[in-house]
Chains A and B, each alone.
Chain A
């Protein structure tokens, strides 16, 4: 029983980690909190849903399509909402308003498109559970955990070891100097948005499978935000650790207290973390620069 709770928590934490990572990448590069991330998750999850209903594809092609859709929509969003601000180098409050408006726009589009109804993904798996000896794990949890883990590993490798990843880190660190070193800053920012959008699409599909699909699904993005605050804003590694921790704690709490109070406890956990260790688990220093 208790092992099962831990596995549930890990699966939930893995999805939160996808959200938190997608959020952190943008935060790193442009130093603002991207509030359109949640609505983007919903939008790409719905695209995945209609593709899977329309064509009867299995889970992995649907995931790929959703990720691609999320990435492309985020590219368009960057062009519409943030490009001019980046060129003008405006203060972060404009990014904030822009991202919220973009999120509202995405959600509005979803509402017009599908109406306020609830949708369920078709059942992708033949058997609902996988048995390991006496241990029973639900298939969706297992797939969620493994896929998220693999994607995050690939992402870590990409950011740490490849040329493009190094460019991404350089632009995050200092945009002007990176530009002087011959890095195409805008292309790098576009790449960051594309990656972030892909992660949003993946997280959206998983959330849709785990819960139901409805226009306000994106509100679950709060979990990703809380996870990145716990982990330390701006640190991708911290975001992953924070997300897994949050998923575990939440699953345990839900088991003891019931799901209704879960948001209250995640909020309290975050508040305690800010009081005790405001820089987060990873302890990256994100003081506002002059």
Chain B
């Protein structure tokens, strides 16, 4: 039971991160390979604030998100004006920089040994509520004016520009929203595991999220969420074959890109109400299996 609940919580936290990536990659067509670093910033800043200054949990989380967004602005400002390849390369460098910074500032972050002693504040319920709120937000965002502009920018930047869309601004908006969502998931992660170390926030993590979005269907929020559930929960259960797992997934994803490039779900989207219903139903089933 304990194990099942931890698997579910980790999956929910991953869903929140992937929603951030979905807004950036699925809707706007930009790839951030430093997305996990924003998760690290969320985790470390909120954790350090609570442990070192005794700040209340919520305040620390909000400050962590604000700091992440500010750093995201600095990274994004020179980058969003350029062609989309730049954002992946720049964020990749950013990720390396953050990892080395976390390793070096031992007095605050504990260096490579990791940062421990964070109180456990994230519960299954909190993760579930956060995930649902994020899903609802993302689905509204997708159909809002901004979401449609994002999709236009993804499909054809030049045409979007000609329609009067401010491309750099919409790219920046999408980037900052995804940074905020991802750093929130980082805070939830830190307060669930009570321990974080720099090695888990490498660019592989960001790449994994982008793969999850594509696996489920690049235009479909439903697909992204299912992709996350499939690719997160299963490996947690099949831990024993860790190395082969990676190879297996890579081959699976290569097959999907080659033979069904729109992903498992393609453009298909469930209505929000049904998603929540389905989600609750799925959860009950899993609980029933455990009992």
Indicate if the CB atoms of B94 and A233 lie closer than 8 Å: no
Per-position 1/0 for B152-171, Cβ under 8 A of A: 00001111000000000000
- B interface with A by C-beta (< 8 Å): 25, 29, 31, 33, 74-75, 77-79, 81-86, 88-90, 92-94, 96-97, 99-101, 103-104, 156-159, 202-204, 207-208, 210-211, 214, 218, 243-244, 246-247, 249-251, 253-254, 257-258, 261
Question: Quick one: CB contact mask for A192-225 with B, threshold 8 Å, 1 for yes?
Answer: 0000000000000000000000000001001001
The residues of B that contact A109 with a CB separation of less than 8 Å are 247
Distance A151 CA – B94 CA, assembled complex (angstroms) = 31
Interface of A toward B, CB cutoff 8 Å = 27, 32-33, 35, 80-81, 84-85, 88, 90-94, 96-98, 100-105, 107-109, 111-112, 219, 222, 225-226, 228-229, 233, 260-264, 266-268, 270-271, 274-275, 278, 286-290
Find chain B residues with CB under 8 A from A228 CB: 89
Q: How far is the CA of A84 from the CA of B254 in the complex (A)?
A: 11
Q: Are A222 and B92 in contact, with the CB atoms below 8 A?
A: yes
How many Å lie between the Cα of A105 and that of B218 in the bound state? 21
Chain A at the B interface: SS class? helix
Q: Which chain B positions have C-beta within 8 A of A275? A: 77-78
10 contacts between A and B (CB under 8 A): A85-B257, A93-B218, A97-B253, A222-B96, A225-B89, A233-B83, A260-B104, A263-B97, A278-B82, A290-B159
- Nearest neighbor of B159 in chain A, beta-carbon distance: A290
Contact B100 A262 (CB under 8 A): yes
Which residue of chain B lies nearest to A107 when distances are taken between CB atoms in the complex? B246
Assess A264 versus B89: contact at CB under 8 Å? Given A97-B257, A100-B210: no
Residues of B close to A100: CB separation below 8 A: 207, 210-211
Instruction: With A81-B257, A225-B89 given, name 9 new contacts (CB 8 A).
Output: A93-B25, A94-B261, A96-B210, A100-B211, A225-B93, A233-B83, A233-B89, A267-B97, A270-B93
* Whole-angstrom distance between the Cβ of B167 and the nearest chain A Cβ: 10
Give, as a whole number of angstroms, the nearest-CB distance from A219 to chain B: 7
Residues of the B chain whose Cβ atoms lie less than 8 Å from the Cβ of A91? 29
Which of A84, A94, A103, A267 interacts with B94 by CB under 8 Å? A267
Task: Establish whether residues B246 and A111, one from each chain, have CB atoms under 8 Å apart when the complex forms.
Answer: yes
